[in-house]
């Protein structure tokens, strides 16, 4: 990524819906050149332009981070859990846990059901610790575009 690509990303992080007519001049390009640059970044899977929602304002009131200890390959457990809509992300890690999984459920009973009926039923899950969220304090989707 060169300086112009990074400038495009900085502008998109401020406003992901910025028109090309505004984006181009802000990064030193014509609107059509800015569109082509952004399309190249999207095609290379270097960037996605998506709508980000806040699950709690969308009616899903229970969020938690699950710390899993796994017997065997944690990638297989991550693959299986990632098939469920409740899973926002799964992270392979080291240390006290093999896998972290963030889940969003409609209500506390839904979280209990998901942990007991889905997570614990996955082959290879040795244990799960549940860290419920009281509130989201910081939620960033910005990466430094140098």
Asked whether residue 70 is assigned to any structural domain, the reply reads: yes
Which phi and psi angles does 104 have, rounded to 5°?
-130, 130
Do 32 and 68 fall into the same domain?
no
Q: Is 95 helix (H, G, I), strand (E, B) or coil?
A: coil
Which phi and psi angles does 89 have, rounded to 5°?
-160, 155
Q: What is the pTM of this model?
A: 0.72
Asked whether residue 140 is assigned to any structural domain, the reply reads: no
The domain of 103 spans 62-132
Instruction: Indicate the number of domains in the chain.
Output: 2
Asked whether residue 144 is assigned to any structural domain, the reply reads: no
Do 36 and 69 fall into the same domain?
no
Render each residue's pLDDT in the chain as its tens digit; 146 residues. Answer: 899 999 999 899 888 899 999 999 999 999 999 999 999 999 998 888 887 776 767 666 799 999 999 999 999 999 999 999 999 999 999 999 999 999 999 899 999 999 999 999 999 999 999 999 887 788 766 666 55
């Amino acid at each position: 990524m060169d300086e112009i690509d990074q400038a495009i990303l900085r502008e998109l992080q401020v406003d992901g819906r910025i028109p090309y007519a505004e984006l181009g001049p802000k990064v030193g390009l014509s609107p059509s050149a800015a569109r082509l640059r952004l399309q190249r970044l999207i095609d290379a899977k270097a960037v996605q332009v998506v709508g980000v929602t806040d699950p709690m304002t969308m009616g899903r009131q229970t969020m938690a981070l699950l710390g899993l200890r796994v017997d065997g390959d944690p990638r297989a457990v991550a693959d299986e859990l990632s098939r469920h809509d409740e899973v926002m992300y799964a992270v392979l890690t080291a240390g006290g846990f093999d896998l972290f999984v963030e889940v969003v459920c409609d209500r506390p009973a839904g979280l209990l059901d998901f942990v007991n009926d889905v997570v614990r039923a996955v082959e290879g899950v040795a244990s799960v610790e549940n860290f419920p969220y009281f509130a989201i304090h910081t939620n960033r989707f910005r990466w430094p575009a140098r």
